[in-house]
Amino acid sequence: MKNKLRILTGLIVLCAICALTAVLFLSYNLKKRYDSGLLRNLVVGFVENKFDKAVRFDSIGMSYSGDIVIKNLKISAFNDFNDNILLVDSPKTVIELDLVSLFNGEIQIEDVSIYSANFNIHKAYDALYGEAFSVVTGIYKQFAQSKELSKKKISLKIRDSSFTYSEIFRSDALRFTASSFNLDIAITRDEIKYSAKGAFNKGGTPFIDESPFTVGGTIFFNDGKFHGTSVEYSVVNLDLTYLNAYLKFKSGLSHEIAGAMSSKGAVNILRDNATINSESSFTGLSVKNVSRVEDSFTLVNNKNLKASLNLDILNGGEVVVARRFLLDDDNLYIMAEGEYVNTELSHYLKLNARSNRIDLNKLSGTFRPVKNVSYSGGLQFDFSTDYNINSGKNNRSSVVLHLNDFSAERIEDGLAKSFFRNTDVKISGTEKQLDAKADARSFGSDYKITIKSELDSWVPVAGNTVIDISSEQLEASLIARLIAEGQHYLENTGLADTKEGYDGVMFPDKEYGKFLTNNSIDLSFRCGSLVFRNNAQIKNIVLRQILEDKMLSTETFSASGYDAQYILDLYGNFKGLYAKVQARAGVYDFDFARFFKDTGARGEVGGTLRGEYSWSVDGYRLRDLVLNNRSSFELSLKNGYVKGTRFLDEYYTFLASEGVTAQPGTVEFSDATYRFKKNSLSCYTSASLTGKSASISSSGPYLFGEGYSMPLRISLTEDNGDRIRRESGQFLLTGVFTSPVLQSRTDPDMSIELFR
């Protein structure tokens, strides 16, 4: 028995020795047959010919198991190393070969393993994303065509590596790195399976150290062409600052975003159909407006938010179905679902959206779209529509919006100034009608607005609308701001349009043209008191403005106060290819002495005030608001006087510092007139005062977009009984129409605002 055991043991050892000897012999022959020179030529030729990339390494050889081992592999992002940008930099790379094919004299790659590498994907400004990832997309193409790759399956493994992506924009760049990067790819003729994990490194958000992620899925092919894909992903605390450069380049908006996003979801694509399911949460979300350094402010501050999306895209985008969209931050809850169809047979939109009652006081703590403005109150809405885009018919619509007890205040110089108080707004509507009511209080004003519309169409909006606006007390400064900001907006819009090229779309076919030609509007306005200051007020203002049959006209206007006559007329003709609009306003025989006394200001100012304003424009596009704009403004005070006012004291102090020391106790004048005329971009202005104790004269161009820049001469005569003293000085009028400034000609830092 013992002898048999010895014989068996000896046979096993002998077989093992023979097997080892055979393996060593075969390995020796393989290493001899495939020496380093042959392998070097093989690898270099394969990378350069198949991928058009330059490659180099320190050493290459074949292991006893028949694998190619490469030390310090470097593959350039280009076909040379002149730019010193490496696509792959790996200290160790192992290429596993098919042994059977190897002994038959053929090299068949089965697996490529890359260890501790640094990968760099670089996208130039003018390059396509497909070009930046051409190496990745090219692997499958080479698998289908190359004889060096396995005909059944090839695998790619990346272990303990890092991945850096960089992209160049016009004036910025995007760059992020993932560490601890591991990737497995298995490629056959019909599919690519992949799975990856790693962690994005720290970006610009302080509380994020790294962002772990995983992604995995399958890409399907049919006869070598893309057939579909299925992918699942997850990411934790993705640093949103990485998106800033990209969003700025794509949107042109000057905003910076920060915070963390965690998300998981799945995307499935089959031919022209796709399904997207995603759930995300945002932590410490902030959005900052940085359009100008001096005006920068934070819109969203430290916001925590949840969002989810379930979306189907069918027939290459002809049908888009949003099964659910949700925003939730424990105060704000908005849900929407809808369907958009654009095929040869139909083109329509169905949408439903609704919210809970949103506590605006809580929302204001994290979301402020206007700088230094906080708000409170409640907001709730419910909206639905079934709109046929082809016919322009609204089959079904419903809208309900309720803003209650709304207040808003602005922080200026550390003090809170309320400009909306206890405001209620209700809007309700269907496909055929729209009703809106607003009861608002702003500063020292109150107003009620009622709108009733009978609609023939929503897009474009067409129908009959009645608007009623009433106010017991309205601040004149509010009306002045609205007019000034409206004019500023129209001028800026017109200037922007002057930079556009030829536009052959005439007025009736433009969106604003369709609105003015397809609608009838009856506007009524009543105001008990238009308050300037204290008891200075114009009373019983009534206005009725009609837009009907493509014509705009003022049916009624009246006002009373200070024994004056008031005129306002607004006319428009929108029947032709060009629109014509004219406006005229005037005040005559206005008792300025009584008005100034009612303001409660110190001193006395008197005279008979007269003012006229006219404005007209004709054209078919927005630039005509600037290029075909004609306007004039004239304000005069006849047989006037100024005595003991605060401004007169400040005015005298400024003039004395400039060497004009004569200070008449009462400035009397027969006429003080200011004129402003504008024709297209050409503006001319003049100011004069004529009297025995004072005279002022100034005239010159008003530079559009810059303001005044013209000389002004002042003469004062002081008669104290014993002697008469006359003095004069030369100054410079600067500033803009609403804020003129009297400036010293010798010292630009010496100036005084004329409207204080």
CA distance 710 to 574: 39
Indicate the pLDDT class of residue 226, thresholds 50, 70 and 90.
confident
Residue 678 backbone zone (phi > 0: left; psi -120 to 50: alpha; other: beta): beta
Q: How much is the pLDDT for 492?
A: 82
CA torsion, ordered 83, 85, 88, 91, to nearest 10 deg: 90
- Summarised one tens digit per residue, pLDDT across range 76-91 is 888 888 877 888 999 9
Q: Which residues pair with 455 in a beta bridge?
A: 463
| Segment 394-402 mean pLDDT | 90
Is beta strand 682-690 parallel, antiparallel or unpaired with respect to 666-679?
antiparallel
Tokens of 720: 């104290």
- 580 HSE (CA, 13 A, CB side): 7
Task: Residue 523: name the closest of 447, 586, 441, 464 by CA.
Answer: 464
Indicate the pLDDT class of residue 345, thresholds 50, 70 and 90.
confident
Task: Residue 354: name the closest of 386, 310, 396, 398 by CA.
Answer: 398
CB atoms inside a 10 Å sphere around CB 163:
20
**pLDDT for residue 747 is more than 90:** no
Computed from CA positions of residues 21, 25, 30, 31, in that sequence, does the dihedral angle turn out positive or negative?
Answer: positive
Q: Is the peptide bond before 460 cis (omega within 30 degrees of 0)?
A: yes
CA distance 229 to 140: 14
Q: How much is the pLDDT for 26?
A: 45
**pLDDT for residue 681 is more than 90:** no
- Summarised one tens digit per residue, pLDDT across range 514-545 is 999 999 999 999 999 999 989 999 999 999 99
CA distance 27 to 86: 34
CA distance 404 to 377: 6
Q: Backbone phi, then psi, for 26, in 5-degree steps?
A: -65, -45
**C-alpha separations of 21 from 26, 654, 729 in Å:** 8, 110, 115
Higher pLDDT among residues 259 and 488, named by residue: 259
- 432 HSE (CA, 13 A, CB side): 0
Q: Is this structure's pTM higher than 0.85?
A: no
**Residue 202: DSSP 8-state:** P
CA distance 44 to 39: 8
Task: Residue 173: name the closest of 229, 88, 244, 273 by CA.
Answer: 244
Q: Which of 138-152, 190-204, 664-678, 702-716 has the lowest mean pLDDT?
A: 138-152
Q: Which residues pair with 667 in a beta bridge?
A: 642
Rounded to 10°, the helix 36-51/134-145 angle is 110
Which distant-in-sequence residues (6+ apart) come within 8 Å of 197 by Cβ? Answer: 180, 181, 182, 212, 213, 214, 215
Indicate the pLDDT class of residue 449, thresholds 50, 70 and 90.
very high
Q: How much is the pLDDT for 390?
A: 83
For tokens 């046979």, the residue is 11
